[in-house]
Structure 1
Amino acid sequence: MVLLISGSQFWLGVWRVITGLGVGGILVGTNVLTSEYSSRRWRSLAISIYAAGFGVGAVLGGMFAVMLQTEYGWRSVLLAGAVLTTICLVVIVVWLPESIDFLLVKQPKNAQAKLNRITAKIGLGNQWTLPEKPVPTAVTRLPFSRLLDQTYRRSSILLWLAFFSIMFSFYFISSWTPALLKEAGMTVEQSVSIGMMISLGGTVGALLYGLLATYWRAKSVLLFFTVVAAGVVVLFILSSTVLWLEMVLGILVGALINGCISGLYTLNPSVYAADIRSTGVGTAIGVGRIGAILAPTIAGLLLDQGWDKQDLYIGVAIVLLISTVALTYLKSHQET
């Protein structure tokens, strides 16, 4: 509410940062819970459906934001977001179950009763018992420090590299493509249409990854997506003079890179044990966001240095192949 009544750019920025922290926490929590409450076969599809929801929500949110701002001003957009978030909070409090792994490992107050309520609701009976709680050691290590211990160091670094590379590539393409295509000779309407094709392909690609991962190993499908995405990105920029082909390739680029993101969300929880899973997932997503922040800035600096747009997209293809190498050597917690 402070944001809604404030006319200061400073406070607008402050509350935007706080909102971003909240959204980041939501992203981590939904990733972990979706993974834990999905069967092994359907886990990739379940995570892909939830990941596709972000794209759908972004498109619909943008459309409604334009309508609300035109009719009622910019504060109405923020108010609508606050109302929708409050509704989601009520739904989560009433219906969303706690993580079973969290109850088993941490055993908070009333953990036994909560466990039995959850298992009864999903048809597994209500006679489950908690395992013996581990005796805490004299020195308790912070979860974040464990991400770089001997058990997880290699997997954490490879996962962070994959997240950084793929998110860097995604945000470069989504932020710079319309402007670069316009500079290449397309009209504003044509360049915006290509951007919409990329967004449309993103939703399809997230779901496609999930479907394929129900039949083949999630990691193998993700590796395939990264390699093909690198090739299509190069074809995309080399075909910028042919509108219909650019639209088709735009859909493919969006589909493949968003499929890569869905694949990362699928693999991410499997890398860590339950007691540090949320920390591991959150840290990897955070590293990916660093790539998202740097991508538009680095692209702008390279353009100022005289780089051609084709060179930039070829560079992005190489970055995607770096993620391929990182993922090749990544092992999940179940494999170690």
Structure 2
Amino acid sequence: MENTTTVDVRALINEHPFSGYQWLVFAMCFIIVLMDGFDTAAIGFIAPSLLGEWHLSKAALAPVLSAALFGLACGALLSGPVSDRWGRRVVLIGSVLLFGVACLSSGYAANLTELTALRFITGVGLGAAMPNAVTLMSEFSPDHRRATIVNLMFCGFPLGAAFGGFLAAWMIPQFGWRSVLHFGGVVPLLLTVLLVFRLPESIRYMVARQQPVEKIRKVLVRIGSAAHFARSFVMEESGNHAPGSSGIRIVLSRSFVLGSVLLWLCYFMGLVIFYGLVNWMPVLLKDAGLSPQRAALISALFPLGGAGTVLCGMLMDRFNPNRVVATAYALGALSVFAIGQAIGSLGLLVCTVFVAGVLVNTAQASMPSLAAAYYPTAGRGTGVAWMLGVGRFGGIAGSFLVAELSSQHISLSGIFTVVAIAGGISCAALMLKQAIGSSAVDVERASKKEFLAH
């Protein structure tokens, strides 16, 4: 080892056991994603309280429910190119600080207009945080375990959303709906302090951007001792793009654009389901005759189902990832349809909501790791962020879709049937992506290799 002058960063990460330092990075990213899920779903759980306190109609809630989603889209679309240019670390710290301050301020909103504006700002921070946490974690993960590790991290999002439901069911009767937003703001602010002192920059990013050897060595030595003696670092990866290309140019290049569009469509439709149900299920179940507290508790089972994401990641690392995720979407669509048929039987309703949550959230939470594996380092930040950003408009569409269906007095079973169709479209998009040979594996085999050295 003492004669080593050049270290292959990708080989070292792939061959070295997952270190304590990588687990620290994982823990910080997991908490970011957890609070992202909590803050994103919080507005849905306080919605019944807003209806009563501010004397609003259900239709009047649509703008405030969707404000954060517009912000999420803007934050993701803007942050991806910035992270490919300036780094993952600075974007993550800034975004966590932004959504912490904005969510805390939301708890002091005096009217619907103020709350809507603050939820938009919260969304911008959330939208920038999520894709960069995924990108950073994927670049610290060995290739053969990337989907498992990133999915394990990403399941913090539905767990955070579920935690928001359980917390709201306890806090709102005790302290009022504003306390939920205060909690959602204070925790990210405390987390920001930890990130400033402990969050590293992505090693693969630093090599791709040809940053100083000393800076790369300082981080890499925490993973493998071989870096102690390195005088230079190299990294081999798919290079189906011109050297020095921007993230935007890579994502929209002829090699990647069709796969990108299919990823966007798939994620869009998945969020039609997720946000349509997370934002409106408490209200829909309340209309079906359940008490507000019971409606919130049952609704919280839907995002809680995201724990199945870890198993899906293991299957993705072992089998064809496109087909694994497509199957989850197909089964998820059937389960969402079944929710509408279970209204009237409390036990059956609880089971169907949980099963649907497991399948839909497993599929949706697996998409970022699918995107991270599809793009090279130079375009990964933009690729992951733009899939999440474009997909966020599906969340907006889902919220307005359910609001419109409800206003048209469509039956509950009819609403769930319409929402379930989106899952079938997601399944079809991934199967088409696989059929045209645009999976990450196919691209890597067909492309030339780019050898990055520094």
Q: Same fold (TM over 0.5)?
A: yes
Corresponding position: 1:168 with 2:269: no
Distance of 1:321 and 1:130 partners within structure 2: 45
**Residue number in structure 2 paired with 1:87:** 190
Q: Deviations over 1:284-325 (max 9, x none)?
A: 101121111121212222333353332322222221111111
- The residue identity in structure 2 corresponding to 1:318 is I
Task: Tell me the amino acid that sits aligned with residue 46 of structure 1.
Answer: I
- Pairing 1:268-287 to 2, within 5 Å after superposition: 268-287=371-390
What one-letter code is carried by the residue in structure 1 that aligns with 2:325? Answer: L
Alignment of 1:1-336 (within 5 A): 3=105, 9=111, 13-61=116-164, 80-108=183-211, 111-126=212-227, 127=230, 129-130=232-233, 143-202=247-306, 204-330=307-433, 331-336=438-443
Shift of 1:332: 3.6
Contact 1:270 1:332 in 2 (8 A): no
CA contact (8 A) 1:230 1:317 kept: yes
The answer to which of 87-96 and 161-170 deviates more is: 87-96
- Shift in Å, 1:92: 2.1
How far does residue 25 in structure 1 lie from its aligned partner after superposition?
1.4
Q: 1:87 to 1:8 in 2, by over 3 A?
A: same
Cα contact 1:195–1:250 (8 A) shared by 2: yes
Contact kept? 2:106, 2:118, Cα under 8 Å: no
AA aligned opposite 2:218: R
Percent identical among aligned pairs is 28
| CA spacing shift, 1:128–1:23, aligned 2, 3 Å | farther
Unaligned runs of 5+ in 2: 1-100, 236-243, 444-454
Asked whether the 8 Å contact 2:278–2:299 carries over to 1, the reply is yes
Instruction: For 2:442, give the aligned amino acid.
Output: E
CA distance in 1, matches of 2:309, 2:422: 20
Q: 1:107 to 1:335 in 2, by over 3 A?
A: same
Calculate the TM-score normalised by the size of structure 1. 0.84
CA–CA separation in structure 2 for the residues paired with 1:247 and 1:191: 10
Aligned mates of 1:158, 1:5 — CA distance in 2: 38
- Stretch moving more, 233-242 or 179-188: 179-188
Deviation sequence 1:95-142 (CA, Å, 0-9, x none): 22211221122124xx3112112221101522151459xxxxxxx865
Which residue in the other structure is 2:74 paired with?
none
- Deviation for aligned residue 1:151: 1.7
271-280 vs 140-149, greater mean Cα deviation: 140-149
> Normalising to structure 2: TM-score of the pair?
0.64
User: Which sections of structure 1, spanning at least 5 residues, go unmatched?
Assistant: 133-139
The CA distance in 2 between the partners of 1:279 and 1:334, in whole Å, is: 20
SS, match of residue 226 in structure 2: coil
What code does the residue aligned with 1:335 have? D
The aligned amino acid for 1:197 is L
Secondary structure of 1:41's counterpart equals helix
Counterparts of 2:179 and 2:279, CA distance in 1: 26
- CA, structure 1 residues 102+288, in 2 after alignment: closer, same or farther (shift >3 Å)? same
Q: Matched residues in 1 for 2:340 and 2:389: separation?
A: 29
Tell me how far 1:183 sits from its aligned partner.
Answer: 3.5
1:195/1:119 CA distance change after superposition, 3 Å: same
Going from structure 1 to structure 2, the CA distance change for 1:128 and 1:85 (only over 3 Å counts) comes to farther
Give, in whole Å, the separation in 1 of the partners of 2:171 and 2:296.
Answer: 21
Distance 1:8 1:261, change over 3 A: same
Aligned AA (1:148): L
- Cα distance in 2, alignment partners of residues 4 and 177 from structure 1: 22
Contact 2:165 2:299 in 1 (8 A): no
> CA 1:32–1:124 in structure 2 vs 1: closer, same or farther (change >3 Å)?
farther
How many equivalent pairs are there? 326
The separation in 1 between residues aligned to 2:339 and 2:319, in whole angstroms, is 28
Alpha-carbon RMSD across the aligned residues, in angstroms, is 3.0
Residues 44 and 214, structure 1, Cα contact 8 Å, conserved in 2: yes
Paired letter, 1:165: M
**Is the CA contact 2:298–2:350 (under 8 Å) kept in the aligned structure 1?**
yes
